Structure 1
Amino acid sequence: MSARIPPATPPFDPEVAATIDRVMRGQPPLHLFATMARDPRLARKFFAGGLLDKGHLTVRQREIVIDRTTALCGAEYEWGVHIAGFAQKAELTAEQVRSTVHGTAEDACWSDEDRLLVRLCDALHKDCDVDDDLWKALRATFSENAIVELLMLAGFYRTVSYLTNALRIPLESYGARFPK
């Protein structure tokens, strides 16, 4: 698959380059990041929306939401980058990784807290809303700020999925692939 809009080529805008270098820690930029670098304003907006910093969620909670959201959107590019980069750190098992793509919240591989996160992603993807029962369960487990972060995270990665899918961003060579 070839990209619908080609990525920028270095040198990038200095501010954008510094942000990409900070995120990539000396590695070459992701295809998505190089594409965003075409327009410094859009790149700044994109990177300002990122939630990979230390916030109200654990790495595991964050990655379950990112992986499930991108899988539901069919965004193999972003799902694969996150599985390759964070699945081990998030302590996701092979069964859990597979479940983010082909499973449900009821799969035996998930803890009760994990199930809430998968249910949240499924509800947001299907209805762009959270029903009262799920909200009550979330409130019993997560702080208000954590719930806001979960909503922002799912929304941001839905946007990332739109970008990677619609722009036909080529898969990264090291990215994981959706399980069969």
Structure 2
Amino acid sequence: MPRVSPLRSPYPPDIQMQFDQIMRGAPPLMLFRVMAGHSRAWDKFRGGSLLDRGPLPLRDREIVIDRTCALNGCEYEWGVHISTFATAAKLSPEQIRATVVEGSKAACWSVAERALLAAVEALHQRSTLGEAEFAALRSHYDEDQILEIILLCGFYRTVSYLARALDLPLEENAVRFPH
């Protein structure tokens, strides 16, 4: 069990409606069940969560999320995203592995994806982007997309903190980190 108790079914109608909207018919994740039990935290989480599609293509969005979670050692969220979105994002087994192990150095990425991953890694390591990293991003992404990349990194760092600090058990159907 996590360190903070999750909501149990049946959920209040407004929470059930929110779960249905986010999960599209699948059972709610443990993270959502824990957060939804605390209205202020749940409202803030959903308000800043970037759970909508946003200006990035799914593949780029997932690369950002997967690498951010991997860098933060968050197998919980990484595994949920890989199991849910990797096929739709057309991530190969080599690329999935690279989000955890090699990152931007892996040969399996396009030039744009390497720039994307290098930005994720810089934000994780230094909390900023150098001129070269920003220029590389700018050559492949517009300003709305660059802001989305930065926001996704920050949000999924927070998600990683939550999942790890709350000691969330791994979701049953989620993928595990490669070894």
* 1:111 is the counterpart of 2:121: no
The equivalences for 1:1-150 within 5 A come to: 2-150=1-149
Shift of 1:3: 1.1
* Counterpart secondary structure, 1:9: coil
**Cα separation, 1, equivalents of 2:72 and 2:99:** 11
Shift of 1:126: 0.3
The alignment-based identity, stated in percent, is: 48
Count of matched residue pairs: 179
RMSD of aligned alpha carbons: 1.1
Gaps of 5+ in 1: none
AA matched with 1:49: G
The equivalences for 1:145-160 within 5 A come to: 145-160=144-159
**Cα separation, 1, equivalents of 2:95 and 2:55:** 22
Shift of 1:151: 0.4
Gaps of 5+ in 2: none
CA contact (8 A) 1:16 1:43 kept: no
CA contact (8 A) 2:7 2:34 kept: yes
AA matched with 2:103: T
CA contact (8 A) 2:30 2:168 kept: yes
Deviations 1:75-111 (A, max 9, x none): 0000000000000000000000000001131211000
* Counterpart secondary structure, 2:139: helix
AA matched with 2:63: I
**Cα separation, 1, equivalents of 2:23 and 2:36:** 14
| TM-score normalised to structure 2 length | 0.96
* Counterpart secondary structure, 1:141: coil
AA matched with 2:175: A
| TM-score normalised to structure 1 length | 0.95
**Cα separation, 1, equivalents of 2:138 and 2:27:** 40
AA matched with 2:70: A
